[in-house]
Amino acid sequence: MKELPNPTFALSPLNLPRGSLHPAQSNAAVDFMPRRAQSAIEVSWAKHQDEVREAQRLRFDIFGTEMGARLSTKVPGHDIDLFDDYCEHLLVRETETGQVIGTYRVLTPEQAKRAGSTYSDTEFDLTRLRDMRSRMVELGRSCVHADHRQGGVIMALWGALFEFMERNRLDVMIGCASIPMLHNGIVTGNAAASIWHQLRETHLAPIQHHVRPRLPLPVDQLEHDLSIAPPALIKGYLRLGAKILGAPAWDPDFNTADLPMLMQTADIPARYRRHFAGNA
């Protein structure tokens, strides 16, 4: 079993293996599932390559098979990119089967330096966020198995992320939140343009934090008055206090429009903070 490269958190000795930053009790089983679809789940951080491969297989099934993304990968059936080796990988398992049913990857400030950038840097000019870099974590590749999208798995993931941020004294999270280009059976940017025009009125960050897409979706040339709700994950981020940093970028490989989002832990509403702290 191949051990992963050592994590490079400034607050962790470099001779510790991946996963040693995370206390053993973070593997505890949790019960966040609604009663109508209850299933015991376990939250943990990947400690070796085999566990990361499980997350990458889930990502491939969802992004590649379910969503039709064009994935260039060196391992068939796995979604792998150059940032994976620098990230911490958060896993949710179904206790009974041991199957990974949810995942996030987390790129810390120190690892972003080693990687040379964040994934978000490849889609957006993040110059205006430079003063936040030293305390900014990037979240990415979030996905949940189709049979477990009732809310409990994503709440478990968010609870573990909140605990991670608190414990490591980091307070800014960024990421690209995707909107599928496929709408009513047609590949179009109209849904993404409409969602952007809705959210810019209510959830746009202050101008000093605005970023620019490197490959912009032409939102002003598309139909943007559709009555359409944002994807569930984006709505969840907004409930947690996240802000939109600017207009979406077009990701042709994943066939999505990606909204740049930023969330500061201080902006998370008190009721969610209490919930996450109680389940950490």
67 within some domain? yes
222 within some domain? yes
- What pLDDT score does 201 carry? 96
13 within some domain? no
What is the domain extent for residue 131?
24-279
Domains contained in the chain, number: 1
pLDDT in tens, 235-265: 999 999 999 999 999 999 888 999 999 999 9
Work out the mean pLDDT of the chain and round it to a whole number: 86
pLDDT in tens, 64-104: 888 888 888 889 999 999 999 999 999 999 999 999 999 99
pLDDT in tens, 6-33: 443 333 333 333 443 444 443 433 333 3
100 within some domain? yes
pLDDT in tens, 129-160: 999 999 999 999 999 999 998 778 988 999 99
% of the chain beyond a pLDDT of 90 = 71
Average pLDDT (212-235) is: 94
Where would I find the beta strands (DSSP E) of the chain? 29-30, 41-45, 88-94, 100-107, 124-125, 136-144, 172-180, 182-183, 186-187, 212-213, 243-244, 249-251, 256-264
